[in-house]
Amino acid sequence: MKCREKISAEDRRKFFKHYWHLGNYNVQTSFLCACIKEEKAKRKNTTAKNPAKRAFSRVYSINKAVVCRGMFIKTLRISKKRINAALHKVRTLETLDRRGIVTEGHNKISMNQKNDVIGHISKFPRCISHYCRKKKKNKMSFASYKKPFLTEFNLKFKKTKKDTCNKCDTYAAKIKNLHEGNEKEIASLEHKMHLEEAEKARNSMNIDLKNARENDATETLTYDMEKTLPLPRQL
């Protein structure tokens, strides 16, 4: 008797609705396992060209009527992969759905190793931007900025044009590593003088730029020494 003669279209429709109305993945898995009987293959047809691959044989049923696999998966509108996954869970005694669950990988480091990494990163020197020297006492983590940046603003990151110069980095490292004494005081004084000279140069440039904008007879040429572009930009 053919599968279509064993069960009516109406019974197949009810079987389909019952399965999908279960809603829960784990419950659906249990339902599939109840409708499919799996046994170890008793006989294997093995040849040199076609070695046996099946380790199990399966019997599919809809409302206790035995049907072929094609009829079963077409009725429920599921794939062979879904059936294999359900039966594999039964064989391995793992019936719960673990999709999306994050597990600790084999490369997870110990707490002591994590503390060593944090301690190492904490020793990295912090550099304050050369032209943006407004200090803030409270230190904020990257995560503290990331969440409001993504949820409250529609902004994008752009590579900054302002950065520390080599002298500032050298002075900052020297001041941090030197102990209290004359050498540290001298380094701090030299750094302060260097910043004052940079500030004077920037103020002078801003004055020249302002004059060029307000006076048509005046032209100001600026050079981008950081990018080593020897071509002047006329303003």
Residue spans of the domains in the chain: they are: 3-43+54-91, 166-235
Q: Is the predicted pLDDT of residue 184 greater than 60, yes or no?
A: yes
Grouping H, G, I as helix, E, B as strand and the rest as coil, residue 41 is coil
Cα 49 to chain centroid, rounded: 46
- Calculate mean pLDDT across residues 101-124: 69
Q: Are residues 43 and 56 in contact, defined by beta-carbon separation less than 8 angstroms?
A: no
Residue pLDDT, tens place only, 23-51: 888 889 889 989 998 887 776 666 555 55
Residue whose tokens read 């035995």? 66
Q: How far apart are CA 71 and CA 186, in angstroms?
A: 88
- Whether this model's pTM surpasses 0.95: no
Quick check: 154 pLDDT over 70? no
Is the Cβ–Cβ distance between 96 and 25 less than 8 Å?
no
Centre a 10 Å sphere on the Cβ of residue 173 and count the other Cβ atoms it contains: 13
Asked whether 48 and 41 are in contact (CB, 8 A), the reply is no
Q: CA-to-CA distance for 3 and 47, rounded, in angstroms?
A: 31
* Strand, coil or helix: 4: helix
